[in-house]
Amino acid sequence: MGSGAMGVTLGVVVLTMGDRRKELRVLLESVAAQEGESVKAVVLGQGVKLPELPAWVDTVELPENLGIPGGRNAGVQRLRELGGADVLVVLDDDGLLPRADTFQLIREAFEQDPRLGVVSFRIADETGFTQRRHVPRFGASDPLLSGEVTTFLGGGHAIRMSVIDQVGDFPAPFFYAHEETDFAWRALDAGWDIHYRADMVLQHPRTDPARHATYYRMTARNRVWLAKRHLPAVLVPIYLTSWALYTLVRRPPLSGRKAWWSGFFEGVRTPCPPRRPMRWSTVWRMTRLGRPPVI
């Protein structure tokens, strides 16, 4: 699983809708400022024309918006065409790396632990505050506590490329929401570890994804698809019931509730193959880590 004597090489993928040109430039400046070996970097325009970017950045203008998972898959493919890398680093186009040693920390983490498949960064705003939804642990306990987890954050993470080789791409039909959980469950079932690292920070503006009805619809639809694809049959209704109750307790606005139920029933009636239920040993492993796949 390791990279050999040459050390771990990194490839960076950034997706953009073309509406954050200043933020994208700042992000790339923070990538260029990283200590250690240079990295391959690919910026993909999701159906948009890209602005002029530094010469060291490879650019791809996709003919249409492929969604987050589809865009990442295209980024992985482009990295392979450029000669590949040992580890894929995915960064949001409106984030930045405040520390210059983040990439070196990534290299060390993957070099030292051959079972490590995915690293999730800590996402914090300009004041250092981390929102509860950005802590990938049940109960969202101390964001400064690193450790093994069962999922990872989309805005900033690193994946060993051999994990993608083994478990497959991100689920392109999801388009938006829960694509990381889908990938994480497959990686866990294949025996890989996922770590949350509080010292690997992506600075990112504080946002509320629930401000759009699309968020509710796709979140609900993809929850159903996630369960149908990966959970043992007996756990599917338990998982979906727990999430429906959780959503009702949070009391989203009427428009959000309507969109959520629309997405829920869309997920029930439409397939999203393949179905590959995780092993019960993986269910137990996730339970021991504090996040059984029914919550």
The average pLDDT across 81-98 equals 97
Residue, of 144 and 113, whose pLDDT is higher: 113
Contacts 24+ apart (CB under 8 A), 247-255: 247/220, 252/210, 252/216, 255/213
Check residue 44 and report its DSSP letter. E
Q: Interhelix angle for 213-230 vs 254-269, to 10°?
A: 30
Domain 10-203 -> CATH class: alpha beta
Question: How far is 240 from 246, CA to CA, in rounded Å?
Answer: 10
Predicted confidence band of residue 211 (pLDDT cuts 50, 70, 90): low
Phi then psi for residue 50, to 5 deg, are -85, 150
pLDDT at 1: 34
| Residue 212 scores a pLDDT above 80 | no
The average pLDDT across 201-216 equals 81
pLDDT at 210: 59
**Model-level pTM?**
0.94
Average pLDDT, the chain: 93
CA 14 vs. chain centroid, Å, equals: 12
Q: Strand ranges (DSSP E) for the chain?
A: 10-16, 40-46, 57-62, 87-91, 116-124, 147-148, 156-160, 193-203
| Residue 2 scores a pLDDT above 80 | no
Question: How far is 283 from 288, CA to CA, in rounded Å?
Answer: 9
Question: How far is 251 from 107, CA to CA, in rounded Å?
Answer: 43
Predicted confidence band of residue 218 (pLDDT cuts 50, 70, 90): very high
Q: Is the distance from CB of 71 to CB of 47 less than 8 angstroms? A: no
Predicted confidence band of residue 5 (pLDDT cuts 50, 70, 90): very low
Predicted confidence band of residue 134 (pLDDT cuts 50, 70, 90): confident
| Residue 96 scores a pLDDT above 90 | yes
